Structure 1
Amino acid sequence: MSKILTEAKACLRLAIPLAAAQLAQAATNFADTVMMGLLGSTTIAGGGLGSVIYSTLVLIITGIVSSTSIFAAVAFGMGDKDRIRRITNQGLLLAIFISFPLMILIANFGKVLGLLGQNPDNIRLAEDYLSPIMWGFPASIGLAVLRSILSSLNHAKIITFIVVTGVVFNICGNYILMFGKLGFPALGLAGIAWASTLTYWLMLFAAIFYMLSQSELKSYHFFKKISHIEIPILGDLIHTGLPIGGLFAFEAGLFATTAFLMGYLGTIPLAAHHIALQTGAMTFMVPVGISLATTVRVGQMIGQNDPKAARLAGFVPIAIGAIFMTAMGLIFWLFPKQIVSLYLDIKKPENYAVVNYAISLLGIAAMFQIFDGIQVIAGGALRGLKDTKIPMFVGIFSYWGVGFVTGCILCFYFKWGGVGLWAGLALGLAVTAAILTWRFTHLINRFLLS
């Protein structure tokens, strides 16, 4: 029991600031959604569609560059500072290489939405959001790289400070640019996107400044020879990161496709979907932070050749995440109307349909909270073992073969509508959680026997 408590404390010391940073970063999207609500439920539908597209692409590419945390954690366990510097440089170069084609995709996503049968008004609003925020994409990915490196070096608290400060700046920027205060023009939905873009760049520069000025980190000589491409390291990052990004793509893609199907069902289901999804995304950030810490802890223990400690570093966070997400699920179940009131004026008759729809979706979200938390933390534990390919195939099977197919059957054949789509999501996450937890158990036992 003492070893479990010791690992729990070590995990929480790293996970709390990372989870706080994830929450704060998600709070940027949350604040954007709340302020979209001030422009009306129609703006939430269209602007939220743009937000889902952007967030999905950021999540996928963040998964790819998160491979830096795996290699940096192992190098930290071995005490190899020079390799950590080189991993950092190659991670940033990878972020640059990936960002530019994705920015082109974001700029032209309105055409894709048209092909997917989305409402023209929703497409126009989505484009109003995507056109400005695409300029923040490189900063988002660069920040993800530096966050991975800093967490691997046990410098997670600064990430929290940077992101929390960024959220405050973003909210102020939203208000100023959205309504045209302090002499700025009133940009409406586009103002929200421009404020987020500026926030991402400021957070990136703050992280760079910290890494260059902090006395303990100066010995790493970060960013020295940053333009030098090292194919072996870059290849390792891509080889390990692509399956991680693939897993994130299959999960995030499932939610994004669900958003498109909601848009097909109508503006009311789409607006309700975005409210429920944004709420779930907020609570999900805590197990994401725990997952990042789990990857680091497992990787560090493997670097120290201590598989028993690595096993504990994997299972303790899974238990912590399950307890937390169970509590969040109860809140969703007991207080759905209060949650929806954060986004819309529930007393306005024109919002009644969206409010009731969102409440029904939150009921489903309450049920899959625990599965969502377990699967992301188990995935983090597997990344600490550099096991990334099999989890990607698990995602294909669970998210799409089980979750999406079941959701479509319930939605269109049994006429459950959006509730059916969300029930499918819950089932897909449950299957993923079970398989990934079993796989970590299997692999860590092999480490112990070897």
Structure 2
Amino acid sequence: MEFTAAPPLTETRPATDRAELSALVRLAAPLVGANLLQMAVSAVDVIFVARLGTVDLAAATLGVFLFNLCMYALIGLTSAASPLIAAELGRRRHAVREVRRSVRMAFWVGGVAAFPVLILLAHGETVLLLAGQDPEVARRAGSFLDIILIGLLPGVAVGVMRSAAAALGRPGWAFAVTGLALLVSIVANWALVFGNLGAPALGLEGSALASVISLTAMAIAYGAIFRLDRRLRRYRLFGRWWATEWSRFREIVRLGVPIMLTWTFEGALFGGAAILMGLIGVNEVAAHAVALNIAAIAFQVPFGIAQAATIRVGMAYGALDRAWISRAGRVALAVGIGFMGITAAAIWATPRLFVSAYVDVDAPANAIVVKLAVQYLALAAMFQLVDGAQAVAAGVLRGLQDTSVPMWIALFGYWVVGFGTSIFLGFEAGWAGVGIWTGLAVGLLAVSILLLWRWHARERLGLVPRTI
């Protein structure tokens, strides 16, 4: 089969900041939308399971946390394909063949790494009991995990295909497919949890099965898109899926393991903060959950920008174009930090308005939770800028295929500086929840400063290739 030639490199090498901004926005906007829709998919599961009772809600919360932690770790591992594909497109040398190799080996890496994770999830009840969870909650969560683990491989495959589609200039499919997943999740939960549409009422297990159906539907949709989309199908991304390319396999592992660990360090930091809140009181945990959810929604924008920035910088890296690398990074950082500046101002000015989306701020019973959530949001507004900065800075460095040192920066910044400060201020200094959130802000600040320094010192550190 003869492939259509790739578009000329000059079409994707903007000469001005405005042109680069336009290219970045076209790429980032659908990814941001997909990220926000994915949060909605997660919310749907909670909404349906919450009606089943406290035990099932607790079991689903723990089960989803463990499953998502594992699945997104694997997606982080395979996301190394994104900067590799971008660099191959930037080089324009045998791009079709090289892109196909990267995608194929990303599937292989994800599949191989999934096996030990599946074993772990199959023993979810034991894991939760070892973590000191209530025996009945652990038992129900184990039953939930026994079903939802079936969706792990489709979920990882979706992550690979989403990264590939975005890198190949089709980010809009991420938004469309995630929208489909949201619709499927709503219908499947409604049918399987409560027994509608002639389906059996499976309760908690029905919610797990709905997640499997949603993830599988996404994988099937992407598979159809890869075969039908004119731009994507010429890469024949499923061609020779059995063929090994061990050098590319090792390259994805080399770049992907640090990305996986970086994401895990960051996610675990906020999970650790919730545990610290639990040592203080129930109201603190509730207020922390509200404030963190608001901050997490805002974070989806710089996270999407970071995903797009990896691709833009990666293309410039492959093209050996220092000016383009600088321009792509500069524009992405400006957009990410600028947006978070807007959200920081909004949260700072109207914190009660944001809290009111989760709890009745006028109810006397919620007075303490509302007061604490408003205090935490004031700190969240302060770290919005540095949160956006560290997310996009990590993204542009991934475009330079620089992942190992940023991983160590994340470990040091989040866990030595951030978590250490949270423990000291929260307990030793007696600041309680405010001290814990101050620690989170300090940790994010440390990571953002170190990552931004590394980006600005990229040439001195030898991260940028020599031009031809």
- Alignment partner of 1:51 is 2:64: yes
Equivalent position of 2:185 in the other structure? 170
CA drift at 1:176? 3.1
Identity of aligned residues (%): 34
- Alignment partner of 1:367 is 2:392: no
More helix by share: 1
78-87 or 210-219: bigger deviation: 210-219
- The Cα offsets for residues 350-409 of structure 1, whole Å up to 9 and x where unpaired, read as 666555544443333222222111101100100111111110110111001100111111
Give, in whole Å, the separation in 1 of the partners of 2:352 and 2:55.
19
Equivalent position of 1:64 in the other structure? 77
Give, in whole Å, the separation in 1 of the partners of 2:149 and 2:284.
26
Q: Aligned pair in 2 of structure 1 residues 69, 4: CA closer, same or farther (>3 Å)? A: same
Matches within 5 A, 1:10-409: 10-36=23-49, 47-79=60-92, 80-119=95-134, 123=138, 126-127=141-142, 129-265=144-280, 268-344=283-359, 354-409=369-424
Instruction: Answer yes or no: is the 8 Å Cα contact 1:59–1:252 preserved in 2.
Output: no
Give, in whole Å, the separation in 1 of the partners of 2:142 and 2:349.
36
Letter in 1 for 2:192: L
CA drift at 1:281? 2.2
Give, in whole Å, the separation in 2 of the partners of 1:187 and 1:417.
41
- Alignment partner of 1:432 is 2:460: no
- Alignment partner of 1:414 is 2:429: yes
Structure 2 counterpart SS, 1:155: coil
Give, in whole Å, the separation in 2 of the partners of 1:349 and 1:50.
33
Give, in whole Å, the separation in 2 of the partners of 1:236 and 1:319.
30
Structure 1 counterpart SS, 2:430: coil
Letter in 1 for 2:309: T
Give, in whole Å, the separation in 2 of the partners of 1:165 and 1:67.
26
Give, in whole Å, the separation in 2 of the partners of 1:355 and 1:132.
37
Q: Give the number of the structure with larger relative contact order, counting CA–CA contacts within 8 Å between residues 6 or more apart.
A: 1
CA drift at 1:53? 3.0
Structure 2 counterpart SS, 1:375: helix
307-316 or 30-39: bigger deviation: 30-39
Give, in whole Å, the separation in 2 of the partners of 1:22 and 1:179.
28
Q: Aligned pair in 2 of structure 1 residues 362, 196: CA closer, same or farther (>3 Å)? A: farther
Instruction: Answer yes or no: is the 8 Å Cα contact 2:317–2:465 preserved in 1.
Output: no
Structure 1 counterpart SS, 2:441: helix
Q: Aligned pair in 2 of structure 1 residues 351, 49: CA closer, same or farther (>3 Å)? A: farther
CA drift at 1:103? 2.3
2-11 or 243-252: bigger deviation: 2-11
Q: Aligned pair in 2 of structure 1 residues 311, 98: CA closer, same or farther (>3 Å)? A: same
Give, in whole Å, the separation in 1 of the partners of 2:450 and 2:126.
37
Q: Aligned pair in 2 of structure 1 residues 350, 134: CA closer, same or farther (>3 Å)? A: farther
Q: Aligned pair in 2 of structure 1 residues 66, 119: CA closer, same or farther (>3 Å)? A: same
CA drift at 1:294? 0.5
Q: Tell me how large the CA RMSD over aligned residues is.
A: 2.8
CA drift at 1:259? 3.1
CA drift at 1:261? 3.5
- TM-score by length of structure 1 reads 0.90
- The Cα offsets for residues 229-258 of structure 1, whole Å up to 9 and x where unpaired, read as 221110110011111112112111212222
CA drift at 1:47? 3.8
395-404 or 69-78: bigger deviation: 69-78
Q: Aligned pair in 2 of structure 1 residues 108, 390: CA closer, same or farther (>3 Å)? A: same
Q: Aligned pair in 2 of structure 1 residues 301, 422: CA closer, same or farther (>3 Å)? A: same
Give, in whole Å, the separation in 1 of the partners of 2:148 and 2:349.
35
Structure 2 counterpart SS, 1:443: coil
Instruction: Answer yes or no: is the 8 Å Cα contact 1:308–1:448 preserved in 2.
Output: no
Give, in whole Å, the separation in 1 of the partners of 2:165 and 2:330.
23
Q: Aligned pair in 2 of structure 1 residues 399, 105: CA closer, same or farther (>3 Å)? A: same
Unpaired stretches in structure 1, ≥5 consecutive residues: none
Letter in 1 for 2:33: A
- The Cα offsets for residues 386-436 of structure 1, whole Å up to 9 and x where unpaired, read as 111110110111001100111111222233334332221111111111111
Letter in 1 for 2:90: G
Instruction: Answer yes or no: is the 8 Å Cα contact 2:320–2:465 preserved in 1.
Output: no
- The Cα offsets for residues 193-221 of structure 1, whole Å up to 9 and x where unpaired, read as 33222111111111111111222222212
Give, in whole Å, the separation in 2 of the partners of 1:283 and 1:189.
30
Q: Give the length in aligned residue pairs.
A: 450
CA drift at 1:265? 4.6
- The Cα offsets for residues 63-101 of structure 1, whole Å up to 9 and x where unpaired, read as 211100011111112231011111111111111111222
For the pair shown, the structure with the greater C-alpha radius of gyration is: 2
Letter in 1 for 2:385: I
